Amino acid sequence: MNITEVKSNAGPREFGPADDLPEEYRKAATRMIQFHANSEVMGGYLDKEFTRHAPSIDRKLANTAKVQDEIGHAQLLYRAAETLGVKTREQMLNELKEGEGKFLNCFHYPVDSWYEAPMIDFFVDGGAMRRQATLKSTSWTPYAHAMDKVCFEEGFHVKHGESILRELMQGSKATQERVQETFETWWPRILQFFGPTNDESVHDDFAQSVGLKTATNDELRNSFLNMYIPKAEKYGLKIPETPRIYERDDGTMAVREDDLDWDEFWEISKNEYEGSKEQIGSRRHRQNAVRWVRDTLDTWESRGGAQQGVARS
């Protein structure tokens, strides 16, 4: 099958490992799923900081479970990417460790307070749900199947974040003001979570044409605004004056995208942002710290340990 046939395939596009697909499709799908898997890993590293800041044992336990889910999502997605036959899971993890792997902008920013937890767990994960729900019908079926489990668990994560936001906004006036300040810092980052505008997105047209994506960046961003502006206001948050939000002719909300700092966004996308180096360094440090475990298991397996263990069981 050539790329023209993939693009012109009538009806819902569904492809799997048994299909003879062009290299261009396989590389594009690998890039997209690897980016998603990397984001789950780095999102887990960001979320783990909230366990330390969480104000109660129940919140700490819930947050720890969320981190475990995120890392599990990454493993599912790396395996889905592997089925394309372009890269192995180990290669993709090494690229992430070395700073070559890309991931979503929100996970480049270090966090240092519990007030940031709902920004990630409610707003960012809410945005992720909007995006991931559309990927249940992506054309690479192993990716679509992984999304069923990911979306199910992400729904709980959003509820977890909403519960934190509700609790904080029922607190003292000082607490509410601190949440508002944090929201104003994170709001532009959240809106850029969906990626560059359609006209600036390098891979969007191809991904749409072969069914890897089923919604554009701008469509997802506007959909998020229409759902989450009322939610934010429900809990007493005020939408910042910039970036400007406006109502379109059809009554839906959109953002003045020129108000967003796209220079910083592109710096982040190249892993050149100072926070990126800190986050990637954290990942590298932890991977190196447990290298001895992987080496020991590899040695044990190479000496027939796996077979001996089966024989003894």
The DSSP annotation for 189-208 comes to HHHHTT-S-GGG-SSHHHHH
In this prediction, residue 12 carries a pLDDT of 53
**Separation of alpha carbons 75 and 253, rounded Å:** 36
The label of the residue with tokens 């997105």 reads: 201
pLDDT per residue as tens digits for the range 232-260 = 999 999 999 999 999 999 888 999 999 99
Sign of dihedral through CA atoms 27, 223, 195, 161? negative
- Residues 54/60, Cβ–Cβ less than 8 Å: yes
Exposed, middle or buried, 272 (CB in 10 Å: 0-12/13-18/19+)?
Answer: exposed
CATH number of 3-312: 1.20.1260.10
Please give the structure tokens belonging to residue 214.
Answer: 């089923």
> Distance of CA 163 to CAs 53, 183, 196, 205, 239, Å?
16, 16, 30, 38, 20
Pick from 88, 79, 86: nearest CA to 24: 86
Q: Rounded to an integer, what distance in angstroms lies between the CA atom of residue 171 and that of residue 118?
A: 14
Cα Rg of the chain, angstroms = 21
What secondary structure, in 3-state letters, does 75-133 show?
HHHHHHHHCCCCCCHHHHHHHHHCCCCCCCHHHHCCCCCHHHHHHHHHHHHHHHHHHHH
Of 42, 31, 36, the closest CA to residue 281 belongs to: 42
pLDDT value at position 281?
65
Among 285, 278, 289, 291, CA closest to 112: 278
> pLDDT at position 299, please?
84
pLDDT at 294: 72
CB 106 within 8 A of CB 188: no
Q: Look at residue 312 in the predicted model and tell me its pLDDT.
A: 45
Sign of the Cα pseudo-torsion (154, 155, 160, 161, in order): positive
Q: Which of 133, 1, 140, 152 is nearest to 81 (CA)?
A: 140
Q: Which ranges of the chain have pLDDT less than 50? A: 310-313
Report the C-alpha gap between 109 and 105 in whole angstroms: 8
Cis amide leading into 17 (omega within 30): no
Q: Give the Cα separation of 43 and 104 in Å (integer).
A: 9
